A and B are shown apart, each in its own frame.
Chain A
Amino acid sequence: MARFAPGEAVHVQDRHPAGHLRTPAYCRGKRGVVERICGSFGQPESYGFGGDGKPFQPLYRVRFEQARIWPDYDGPATDTVEIEIFEHWLDPAG
C-alpha cells in the first residue's frame, strides 16, 4: 500500500549512506510533488549486493521545481525535473 498519493508534497531524506543508491545527491533534502506511483520494486541497496531486494518499496516519480533544486537556476520558474524515488527515501512535506 503506497504511503503517498499523486499530487502530495514530499521531502527527500537528506542522508548519505555508503552502498548502492539510486536517489541522486542533487535532490536530497529537497521538496517535490508526487507525479505518479510507478508500482513496487526491489530496493537497489539490497540488489546491488546480491540481496533479494525485499521488502519491495513503492516507487514514485517526483516532480521538482528547478528553482528549488539549484540556487541560481538560469531558466523560467516553470522548469521542472522529475526523478524516480523510492518510498524509503521520502517523508511527508506538509
Chain B
Amino acid sequence: MADEREHEHDHDHEHGHDHEHGPRAFQPDLEDTVPHSDYQYLEAAVRELLIEKGLLTADEVRAAIEAMDARGPHLGAKVVARAWADPAYRQRLLADGSAACRELGVDMGPTHLVVVENTPAVHNMLVCTLCSCYPRFLLGIPPLWYKSREYRSRTVREPRAVLAEFGTVLPEGVEVRVHDSTADMRYLVLPMRPPGSEGLDEAALADLVTRDSMIGVSLPQSPKQAAAE
C-alpha cells in the first residue's frame, strides 16, 4: 500500500477505449480549498501543524502531488511495448523488473518490481488482500475497485468469477495464477502481445496496453479494437 497513487478518470475504463493515459497537469480543485468534512479538517490540521513544526513544507506537498499525477499506466504500457518489441529487454524485465523500468527512464523509487508473464499456459492476476499494494511508481494510483472489499476478498478465492465480471474469458486449459502482494514486492503483469500486432511500432503497441491488462483482470486491446476508437 505504501506507494499507491490514484489515476482515476471520470468515466469507465473497462472497454479499453483509446484514452490518453498521459501525465496529468496539476489542477487545483477550487471546491477543495475549503475543507468540508471531519476528515478533510483533520488532513488540513495535520498538514498545517507539520508545516509549522518545520517537518514539511507546502512546496513539498505540492511537488509530491504533481509527481503522483504524472504517474500512470502510460509508463507501464511503455515498458510492456518495449518487452514485446525487444526479446532481450523482455528477459531483463523478467529478471529484474525495477532495473528494466529504470532503463526506460521510469523513476521506480524504492519499488522491488516482479514482472509476471502471461503465456498460452498461464494467466496472471494481481491483488493485495491485506490492503492495496500496487506498483504505483509504474502505474499510478490503483483504481477504487482494486482497493475494494469485494476485489480483495474474492480474487484469491474465485479468480475466474472475478475475471468473468470484467468480461474476461480465458481459453480452456489456461492456469490462472493469482499474486497476493503481501510484503515488499510489487507486481506487473506482462500481457501476451495481441495477434495482428506484428509490424506495429512501439508507440502503437503501447496504445494496446490497458491498465487492466497489467493488473490481469483483462487482456490488452487488439489493433482492431484500438483502431475502432
Count of B residues near A, CB < 8 Å?
22
Question: B115 within 8 Å of A by Cβ?
Answer: no
Q: Which residues of A come within 8 Å of B, CB atoms?
A: 22-24, 26, 38-39, 41, 44, 59, 61, 63, 69-70, 73-76, 78-86
Residue pair B181, A79 in contact (C-beta under 8 Å): no
Count, A-B residue pairs, CB within 8 A: 71
Q: Which residue of B lies closest to A20 (CB)?
A: B130
Q: How far is the CA of A75 from the CA of B184 in the complex (A)?
A: 29
- A41: chain B residues at CB < 8 Å are 183-184
Q: Which residues of B come within 8 Å of A, CB atoms?
A: 112, 114, 129-130, 156-161, 173, 175-185
Q: How far is the CA of A41 from the CA of B183 in the complex (A)?
A: 9
Which 9 residue pairs of A and B lie closest in terms of their CB atoms, listed nearest first? A84-B183, A78-B175, A81-B178, A41-B184, A83-B180, A84-B182, A79-B176, A22-B182, A80-B177
Q: How far is the CA of A86 from the CA of B185 in the complex (A)?
A: 12
Q: A38-B112, A38-B183 are in contact. List 19 more A-B contacts (CB 8 A).
A: A22-B130, A24-B129, A24-B180, A26-B129, A26-B157, A38-B184, A39-B184, A61-B185, A69-B156, A74-B158, A75-B158, A79-B159, A79-B177, A80-B177, A81-B156, A81-B177, A81-B178, A81-B180, A82-B180
Q: How far is the CA of A83 from the CA of B182 in the complex (A)?
A: 7
Beyond A22-B130, A24-B129, whether A82 also contacts B178 by CB under 8 A is: yes
Beyond A24-B129, A39-B112, A81-B156, whether A75 also contacts B182 by CB under 8 A is: no
Q: Which residue of A lies closest to B180 (CB)?
A: A83
A-B contact pairs, 14 of them (CB 8 A): A22-B183, A26-B156, A26-B157, A39-B112, A69-B156, A74-B161, A76-B173, A80-B178, A81-B156, A81-B177, A83-B179, A84-B180, A84-B185, A85-B182
Residue pair A79, B182 in contact (C-beta under 8 Å): no
Residue pair A82, B158 in contact (C-beta under 8 Å): no
Q: How far is the CA of A38 from the CA of B180 in the complex (A)?
A: 14
Q: How far is the CA of A61 from the CA of B182 in the complex (A)?
A: 10
For residue A32, give the distance in angstroms from its CB to the closest CB of chain B: 12
Q: Which residue of B lies closest to A82 (CB)?
A: B179
- B182: chain A residues at CB < 8 Å are 22-24, 83-85
- B159: chain A residues at CB < 8 Å are 75, 79
Q: How far is the CA of A26 from the CA of B181 in the complex (A)?
A: 14
For residue B177, give the distance in angstroms from its CB to the closest CB of chain A: 5
Residue pair A74, B160 in contact (C-beta under 8 Å): yes
- A84: chain B residues at CB < 8 Å are 180-185
- B173: chain A residues at CB < 8 Å are 76
- A86: chain B residues at CB < 8 Å are 183
- B180: chain A residues at CB < 8 Å are 24, 81-84
- A85: chain B residues at CB < 8 Å are 182-183
For residue A50, give the distance in angstroms from its CB to the closest CB of chain B: 16
